[in-house]
Structure 1
Amino acid sequence: MAEVTDTTVNIWLNGKTEILNSSQLSDLLPRFKAPFAVALNGRFIAAAQYPEIALKAGDQLDIVSPIAGG
């Protein structure tokens, strides 16, 4: 595992450990193709709240996209 510094945040992202260079949720989201839903520590986060969310060490973040099918 990579070394964690004062400028990084170690979280759980979709069940796997992830070391981020920024604690801002909005900095992470461009990695994902819209549409998606975000849950932080088991609670749904509305898109309007994304810019104000700061992640903390140990947070559990789930980002999921809908899958078409029937």
Structure 2
Amino acid sequence: MSDTTLQVLINQAPHTLPTGATLADAVALAGIQPPFAAAVNLQFVPRGQYAQHALKQDDHIELIAPITGG
């Protein structure tokens, strides 16, 4: 592990981000398109806080898109 990178899980897949990365950076890396909801370590994060939500080593990020139909 390096002091300049973070290892995180995005939807159970390992990813490397730079130290100081935010949830917005993780969303951009994942390439998911709205609408979706985001949670870090099972805690919902409102869309307006993605750029301020700093990530930490080994955070578990879930990006969940709604499923339509029935």
Tell me the TM-score normalized by structure 1: 0.81
Measure the CA separation in 2 of the matches of 1:7 and 1:17: 16
The sequence identity of aligned pairs, in percent, is 34
Which sections of structure 1, spanning at least 5 residues, go unmatched? Answer: none
1:42 positional shift: 0.7
Give the whole-Å Cα distance in 1 for the aligned partners of 2:57 and 2:16. Answer: 9
Give the TM-score of the pair, scaled to structure 2.
0.81
| SS of residue matched to 1:52 | coil
Partner of 2:38: 38
Q: Distance in 2 between matches of 1:65 and 1:16?
A: 16
Unaligned runs of 5+ in 2: none
Displaced runs of 4 or more, over 4 A: none
Number of residue pairs the alignment of both structures matches: 67
**Separation of aligned partners in 2, 1:51 and 1:28:** 10
What's the C-alpha RMSD, in Å, of the aligned pairs?
Answer: 1.5
